[in-house]
Amino acid sequence: MKPRLIIDQALAHSRQTVDLVKHDARFFLECIGRQVDAQHTGRPAQELMEMVCQPFRAAKQPRIIFLGLGFGHAVAAARHYLPQEKAAFVIFPEAAKVPEWVETHLPENPLDDERVHIETLSPFNPIPEKYSGSQAVIMDLDHLEGLSPSGYKPTHPISLANIYQMLKSGGLLGIIGSRLDNSLKKLLQRCGFEVVHEFVPLSEKSKKNRTLYLARKGQYHGRR
């Protein structure tokens, strides 16, 4: 059996400890034994970003906000689907050391782009007013719930209201969840979003699905 090595540890904004783990030549992020992200499970993020970015490919200065970084799967996909020179990808990482881990240990660095901006603020706090008018906000519930402070819910109505205010009209909130949660869909609708969902395999060889939610500020028209 191949050993499981803790390469490094960091303190998340929630004051919980995040472990960078290597096992079988792959990297994982864990918190108290719970997997937060894995190097090889980027397909849901890639699929989500393809859908999120599609309406903004003609925008001159699209801005995408990422609440949590993980291994940067969503950021890498956004860079691919939005090649505009003046696009902005704003990241609120789970812990200050996570961007360093991503840059150091991954074979391809998703942060190696002048359009990427790393914020020092916590993803568990409201998005600052200076980011109002953004095209999209992205969050993975496994990332945020696995590292969140006690009593915090990333989909609490107050958090969703803040995101709604930061989005421009027609902006998108993209969420990755482990299962279909109809109560979440209803909550998003009560907050003013039009919501659709899709199922995507966790990885190329996985039989497990993750649920992608697309919540539009206004009416959602789907893929074109």
- Cβ proximity of 91 and 75 under 8 Å: yes
Strands (E), the chain: 4-11, 17-23, 26-31, 34-38, 63-67, 88-92, 116-118, 134-140, 167-177, 193-201, 209-217
pLDDT of residue 185: 95
Q: Give the C-alpha separation, 190 to 207, whole Å.
A: 33
Which residue type is seen at 34?
R
In 3D space, the residue among 2, 6, 57 whose CA is nearest the CA of residue 25 turns out to be 2
Domains defined for the chain, CATH in brackets: 41-217 (3.40.50.150)
Beta bridge partners, 21, equal 6, 28
pLDDT in tens, 161-171: 999 999 999 99
pLDDT of residue 1: 60
In 3D space, the residue among 12, 8, 11, 34 whose CA is nearest the CA of residue 21 turns out to be 8
pLDDT of residue 219: 52
pLDDT in tens, 101-137: 999 999 999 999 999 999 999 999 999 999 999 999 9
How remote is the C-alpha of 197 from its chain's centroid?
16
All residue ranges of the chain with pLDDT < 70 are: 1, 219-224
Give pTM, 2 decimals.
0.93
pLDDT of residue 163: 97
pLDDT of residue 218: 77
Residues of the chain with pLDDT > 70, as a percent, come to 96
In 3D space, the residue among 105, 87, 108 whose CA is nearest the CA of residue 97 turns out to be 105
In 3D space, the residue among 130, 128, 177, 132 whose CA is nearest the CA of residue 155 turns out to be 177
Instruction: Report the C-alpha dihedral over residues 76, 80, 83, 87, rounded to 10 degrees.
Output: -30
pLDDT of residue 145: 86
Return the half-sphere exposure (C-beta side, CA atoms, 13 A cut-off) of residue 139.
22
